[in-house]
Structure 1
Amino acid sequence: MLVDSHCHLDYLARDGDLADVLTRARNAGVSPMLTISTKLREFDQVRAIAEAEPDVFCSVGAHPHEAGTEPDTTTAQLVELAAHPKAIGIGETGLDYFYEHSPRQVQRDVFRAHIGAARETGLPLIVHTRDAEDDTIAIVEEEMGKGAWPGLIHCFSGSQRLADRMLAAGLYISISGIVTFRKAEELRDVVRSVPLERLLVETDSPYLAPVPKRGKRNEPAFTAHTAAAVAELKGISPEALADATTANFRRLFAKAEF
């Protein structure tokens, strides 16, 4: 069993073949799947997919790209939506200073609102960070000082410094298909250093398809390719990697029943 800890099934559904996508995932041994909310105004669509499938769960949150269009996101609002039995995480949220689709201060404010929801509900926070390591570290460490909360850095592509500081704060590290890319040697070094008990795997589909599927639309079935690459880096079998990452997902996303 492999878990795709981060995918966007609502985006894949727009292509009209979601049933086939889910079948291919299950046939590849990928189940369950966590489909991620990026816009609160579209959360109903994300939730409906999770409600319809026994092995699909969802998160609730607003991506940093959307912080500028949903700047009034509150902890109370997130907590209320997260009460749904299929909602097992908060986010994705965080900081993206690469594209800067939203003002930086708004991103920081909305990030903190999500952290408050993770702290209040005990559900893990799903953090996106790109070109914003200093602020991510500062906010995570400051907010941990106000009261601990569970979480992970999804689609990790940052530095060893970021990984070390996030692990020290208690967060997990989730690895996407980027780890298979030719120029990702620094990331592969980071993966080698992360304790096995703190690793997850994901697709971030429909984006970032791993080698040998690079250039194609990504989908949860391709988790197996990323997991195989991570297993090789850790010097263990794909089966052992699957067992470990599934156990890690169960421990972090304890609300999920499967």
Structure 2
Amino acid sequence: MFVDSHCHLDRLKQSPESLVETLNFARTRGVEHFLCVCVSVNDYDSMLETVKDFNDVSVSCGVHPLHQDEACSYDELLEKASRHEVVAIGETGLDYFYSPESKDVQLQSFIDHIKVANETKKPLIIHTRDAREDTINLLKAHKAPHTKGVLHCFTESLEMAEAAMELDFYISISGIVTFNSAQELREVVKAIPLERLLIETDSPWLAPVPHRGKQNQPGYVVEVAEFIAELKGITVAELARITTENFYTLFSLAARKPN
């Protein structure tokens, strides 16, 4: 069985009825759980409303680094992130590729999320792009010893992955690894220990080969798993088993529940 460790079900361009069909398609392919990740605290309640009837969907709460125009106060973040249904904090992090001009705001927001994760004892979901040094340095400076997390949709260097793993973080790989331009990333994935690996779609974006050009969906995490299994020289079943175990180890509040 597979887990889509990072998707945005509320961002899919479809009706509520179509969302049911999308999740059912994923389930028929062996996807047993979905982590629906928040990108704006302002949208948290509407996101929760979208997925609240699905027992196999968990949720996070946070502000994406590219959504700083929708930033919230530390107290508001803490209040919502402390709710019982929230299994993780984020996504948060730093993105200097698309928004270098908001660096200072991103830095403070990231620190706030780390502190909320420390206080709530929930794992962090981190987006990082062109901000390797600051991402690792802020985690080292502000992360509590018990705080864990994941660098999601990872496209950075092996050195950064190793630094994150030393801080008790996991590395999540999306459909980008299947792209023709991802040769360097493939070498990184080969070097990441299986016990630190997660898989995701980041849907509705970044559909893997052979679905490029389509809206991504959680069922396509199977293609991500198949590609990585071949890179690793193991069976798809083994990759599914290990990454699923890793997911429940990290996101321990996302208990396996019947749908």
Give the TM-score normalised by structure 1: 0.94
Task: Say if 1:6 and 1:34, in contact at 8 Å, map to a contact too.
Answer: yes
Give 2:47's aligned residue.
Answer: 46
SS in structure 2 opposite 1:68?
Answer: helix
Give the counterpart letter for 1:55 in structure 2: D
Give 1:125's aligned residue.
Answer: 124
Once the 2 structures are TM-superposed, how far is the Cα of residue 36 of structure 1 from its aligned partner?
A: 0.6
Task: Say if 2:42 and 2:70, in contact at 8 Å, map to a contact too.
Answer: no
Distance verdict in 2 for CA 1:80–1:134, change over 3 Å: same
Q: How does 1:180-195 map to 2 (within 5 A)?
A: 180-195=178-193
Once the 2 structures are TM-superposed, how far is the Cα of residue 201 of structure 1 from its aligned partner?
A: 0.2
Give the counterpart letter for 2:116 in structure 1: A
Once the 2 structures are TM-superposed, how far is the Cα of residue 143 of structure 1 from its aligned partner?
A: 1.8
* 1:3 correspondence with 2:3: yes
Give the counterpart letter for 2:188 in structure 1: V
Q: Runs of 5+ in structure 2 lacking a partner?
A: none
Once the 2 structures are TM-superposed, how far is the Cα of residue 140 of structure 1 from its aligned partner?
A: 1.4
* 1:61 correspondence with 2:62: yes
Task: Say if 2:41 and 2:70, in contact at 8 Å, map to a contact too.
Answer: no
Once the 2 structures are TM-superposed, how far is the Cα of residue 85 of structure 1 from its aligned partner?
A: 3.1
Task: Say if 1:205 and 1:218, in contact at 8 Å, map to a contact too.
Answer: yes
* 1:156 correspondence with 2:154: yes
Once the 2 structures are TM-superposed, how far is the Cα of residue 101 of structure 1 from its aligned partner?
A: 7.4
Q: Deviations over 1:131-151 (max 9, x none)?
A: 11121121112223x544111
- Point out the more displaced range, 209-218 or 132-141: 132-141
SS in structure 2 opposite 1:173?
Answer: strand
Between the aligned residues of both structures, percent identity stands at 45
Give 2:89's aligned residue.
Answer: 90
Give the TM-score normalised by structure 2: 0.94
SS in structure 2 opposite 1:155?
Answer: coil
CA distance in 2, matches of 1:48, 1:185: 39
CA distance in 2, matches of 1:246, 1:73: 34
SS in structure 2 opposite 1:225?
Answer: helix
| Aligned alpha-carbon RMSD (Å) | 1.4
Task: Say if 1:47 and 1:86, in contact at 8 Å, map to a contact too.
Answer: no
SS in structure 2 opposite 1:182?
Answer: coil
Once the 2 structures are TM-superposed, how far is the Cα of residue 118 of structure 1 from its aligned partner?
A: 0.9
Q: How does 1:20-35 map to 2 (within 5 A)?
A: 20-35=21-36
SS in structure 2 opposite 1:31?
Answer: strand
Q: Runs of 5+ in structure 1 lacking a partner?
A: none
SS in structure 1 opposite 2:34?
Answer: strand
CA distance in 1, matches of 2:168, 2:174: 20
